[in-house]
Amino acid sequence: MARVLLPLAKGFEELEAVALIDVMRRGGIEVSVAYVGEESAVLGAHGIRVVADLPISEANSDDFDMIVLPGGWGGTHALAEDAKVISLVQELKTTKAVGAMCAAPYVLKKAGVLGKSYTCYPGVEDEIDHPGYREDTKVVIDDNVLTSKGPGTAVCFGLAIIERLEGAQTMQTVKKGMLLDYC
């Protein structure tokens, strides 16, 4: 069973985080939610609290197959300023895989691991200031780096992660079970 670390910081995009957690778990992926900050109940950008499983300080890259970052500017900036998050992103990009959506590819850029091709929330590419932005697709896979646009693409991003970690057959089973005819 694949294991994914999904860190949250105050101001994260709730729809992205919850959809990713849900879809990945439907695909048999063990998702550990880590909190950045003092409280395990992390407040999202729209006032929804999500209770995390562990502090980011206890996360070890050897225990995970991938780190996935939801967006939301508040959460993204907090993740980008956290040395442990940056270290985990760098380690997992080298050995396994990293994923980020919406504003969170900014964290990948700050960590120095953003690929040659990526996508993000429209307009955020200006702040990321990195060549290779693609606006023509919901999900971009560039070697060990997976990126996605924003809240409306979270389910598709979760399916891409399942395909990467658990295979196409598992992804198709989840997709069919969720009655998805897009992605």
Active site residues: 102
Render 56-95 in DSSP notation, one character per residue: GGG--GGG-SEEEE---HHHHHHHHT-HHHHHHHHHHHHH
3-state SS, residue 162 = helix
Instruction: Please name every residue paired with 98 in a beta bridge, in sequence order, or none if there are none.
Output: 67, 145
Burial of 24 (0-12, 13-18, 19+ CB in 10 A): buried
Cα 128 from Cα 21, distance rounded (Å): 25
Cβ neighbours for 90, distance < 8 A, ≥ 6 positions apart: 111, 112, 113
CA-to-CA separations, 165 to 12, 103, 150, in angstroms, rounded: 24, 23, 21
